[in-house]
């Protein structure tokens, strides 16, 4: 049964965004639903990020907890799975539009790329190919539930 579930998950990851009828369909197929953390055995903190992914009012939402819950969870304006199997989404913030790509492997994911694409933010690039501006690799989130 686990093998069938793994094959289903892998199939969902290689689908193109156009295959899903809506962003929430792509999200449900992506396997991101639920709680993820750097270390699921430890409480949320500034060293142990915890994200909870869900659908709220028809939008994909990522609520972060870094020791205290985020008062303004991220609502994805778009969400999809690319041909490479990476998950991508865009979220509109106070100063621009953040474009994010996640690398997913089995029951873990990490930030693969991230940039603010609006002129008000100066087109800031935060992460490229899994590395932050300082050159350090982004940390893996592990599936907790």
**pLDDT tens digit sequence for 99-143:** 999 999 989 999 999 988 765 556 788 899 999 989 999 999 999
CATH of the domain at 135: 2.40.128
For residue 107, give the nearest of 27, 31, 12 by alpha carbon.
31
Helix axes 23-30, 2-14, angle to 10 degrees: 140
- Provide the residue range defining the domain that includes 8: 2-143
The pair of three-digit structure tokens given for residue 99, joined into one six-digit string: 């474009």
Number of domains in the chain: 1
pLDDT value at residue 56: 92
Q: How does 31-51 read in b/e, with b if 16+ C-beta sit within 10 Å?
A: bbbebbbbbeeeebeeebbbb
Provide the mean pLDDT of the chain: 82
pLDDT value at residue 121: 54
Dihedrals φ, ψ of 16, to 5°? -85, 155
Range ranked top by mean pLDDT from 47-61, 74-88, 108-122: 47-61
**Cα 4 to Cα 7: distance, rounded to the nearest angstrom:** 5
pLDDT value at residue 96: 73
The answer, yes or no, to whether residue 144 has pLDDT greater than 90, is: yes
């Amino acid at each position: 049964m686990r093998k069938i579930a793994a094959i289903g998950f892998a199939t969902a990851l290689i689908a193109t965004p156009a295959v899903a009828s809506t962003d929430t369909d792509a999200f449900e197929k992506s396997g991101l639903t639920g709680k993820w953390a750097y270390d699921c055995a430890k409480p949320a903190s500034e060293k142990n990020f915890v994200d909870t992914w869900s659908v709220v009012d028809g939008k994909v939402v990522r609520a972060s907890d870094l020791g205290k819950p985020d008062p303004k969870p991220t609502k994805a304006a778009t969400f999809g799975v690319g041909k490479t199997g990476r998950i991508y989404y865009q979220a509109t913030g106070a100063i621009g539009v953040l474009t994010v790509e996640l690398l997913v492997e089995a029951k873990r994911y990490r930030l693969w790329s991230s940039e603010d694409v609006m002129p008000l933010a100066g087109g800031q690039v935060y992460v490229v190919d899994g590395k932050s501006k300082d050159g350090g690799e982004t940390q893996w989130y592990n599936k907790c539930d």
